[in-house]
Chains A and B, each alone.
Chain A
Amino acid sequence: MIITKQKDLKQLIQLINNEPVFIVGCSECATLCNTGGEKEVLEMKDNLLKENIEVTGWVILDPACHLQNDKRILRGYKDHLEKARIVLVLACGNGVQTVNDIIDDKKIISGTDTLFLGEIKRLTEFDRKCNLCGDCISNSFGGFCPISCCPKSMLNGPCGGSVNGKCEVDKNLDCVWEFIIEYFKERDEMDKLKKINAPKDWSKSTEMKWRISE
């Protein structure tokens, strides 16, 4: 899932600058991480009203990253949109830009910061799991990804800062190499970890377009 967090309300109010706002949420990721579901969109509406900012309407796109779907849904909100000068999008960075592709006579404001592609660990806790590198290497690491789960992307074992299974960068972060080593140890395959893993091929991470061939 795409993990987002809401931007600071004061900063958003400053950007909105007392202009009428239409709020867009998203039914998928932003709903699940409590940043742009119906609950958060309505909370945002109340917060803006408290600041005497006019809210002309709101919608939850399904999902916001779906261009054709968004066009269809937003058509139904033509009147609300017309009255607004700002569209505040509570979705990921992709959702923001897809809405921006459709609406060109309003100022689009992103209400969130997109953090990472990650896992919902608990309802209110999320862990980075994927850096979208275009060439998944988890098959070589017992299903774990040291590129995304290690702040230094170490491919050949833990760095010197791994202490008691925790990462030196963040004491709350488990060192992913503890899990990888455990995985191979349990299977009596530690020899596999003695092999030097070659530098990663990043050329796949530069894809800008993808088309499913007919």
Chain B
Amino acid sequence: MNFKSGLEKVLVDGKFAVTAEVGPPKGADSNKIRDKAEMLKGYADAFNITDNQTAVVRLSSFGGSVILLNMGLEPIMQICCRDRNRIALQSDVLGAVSVGVRNILFITGDHQSFGNHPGAKGVFDIDSIQLIKIVKDLRDNGIFQSGDKILAGNPNVFIGGAANPFADPLDYRVDRLEKKIDAGVDFIQTQSVFDLDRFNIWMDEVKSRGLDKKTHILAGITPLKSLRMTERMKFHVPGVSIPEEIYNNMKETKNPKETGYDIALKLINDVKKINGIHGIHITALFWEDIIPNLVKELNLFPRN
């Protein structure tokens, strides 16, 4: 089998995949990405480069992906629907694949009112499910959204998407995942898992519909660095569920970093045991240097 990307090979081979997020800087300094990537090299199969996450302007996911490619690392370029219409989105997919990007993850994106340019006009011409389907049609059928034909090279890309098992309404969350699978998603990274009970409820439904056989699900893991971060995520980030037990642990500890690390370690060990989970996606916000230890202690190192 010809694999579209290294990540696809890991997942198809049935190995437990590790991906990690590299947040681009608020500026053009490529060293900010290079330094993080250098530190994480070998500790993940592929690295997400986010697309102006939380609607804050940063170095583009395209630029960040090219930096990783030049370092010999495999990017998962993120593309969101907030800032571009279907013309620009399809064009960016073609452009990214032309320089060697092989994994692209498509999301609708955070609303512009959350970011540092609340006066921007949100585009939202299409949503993530529509975009996933458009890219599958580009790749497999060589046709653009309009029905026009590709003339020179279908983009051979491993298609990623996101899923949030913790948002409402709960019973429709699996339907959304199913729609993404029908649209053509190859792998899924979930919202950060803290609430294992709810995650298990979601996974049970996923498995009862056989969806874990149709796509590769990577559980999102976010190590908690401090009480402040825990409270921000618990009370202010929509669609994140942090159970009281974890919150109390972070509140009572004298060493938040150590406790946050232990919580992450335990969560990963727990999600690893869930049938149908094919890997983890680590988002260590402003704390990327924790990832090597975490991956080593989980016996997930080396990656090759």
Contacts and interface: CB of A to CB of B under 8 A. Distances in A.
Interface of A: 151-165, 168-169, 175, 177-178, 181, 190, 193-194, 196-200, 202
Interface of B: 81-82, 86, 108-111, 113, 122, 124-127, 129-130, 133-134, 145, 162, 164, 167-169, 172, 175-176, 178-179, 182-183, 191, 238-239
A178 B133 CA distance: 24
A88 B161 CA distance: 51
Given A158-B172, A199-B134, 13 more contacts: A152-B127, A156-B130, A158-B168, A158-B169, A160-B167, A160-B191, A175-B168, A178-B168, A196-B129, A196-B179, A199-B130, A200-B126, A202-B125
A198 B125 CA distance: 11
A101 B277 CA distance: 65
A18 B239 CA distance: 53
B176 A157 contact: yes
Contacts of A200: 125-126
Given A157-B175, A160-B164, A199-B86, A151 B122 contact: yes
B127 A151 contact: no
Contacts of A178: 168-169
Contacts of A157: 129, 172, 175-176, 179
Contact of B172 (A169, A181, A197): A181
User: What does DSSP make chain B's interface, helix, strand, loop or mixed?
Assistant: loop
Given A162-B167, A193-B175, A169 B130 contact: no
B238 A156 contact: no
28 contacts: A152-B122, A152-B124, A157-B172, A157-B175, A159-B127, A160-B164, A160-B167, A161-B111, A162-B169, A163-B167, A163-B168, A165-B168, A168-B238, A168-B239, A177-B172, A178-B169, A181-B169, A181-B172, A190-B175, A193-B172, A194-B182, A196-B130, A196-B133, A196-B182, A197-B130, A198-B130, A199-B86, A199-B125
B88 to A, nearest CB: 14
Among A160, A193, A199, the most chain B Cβ lie within 10 Å of the Cβ of A160
A155 B130 contact: yes
Contacts of B176: 156-158
B16 to A, nearest CB: 25
A162 B168 contact: yes
A161 B179 CA distance: 18
B179 A153 contact: no
Contact of B129 (A156, A181, A190): A156
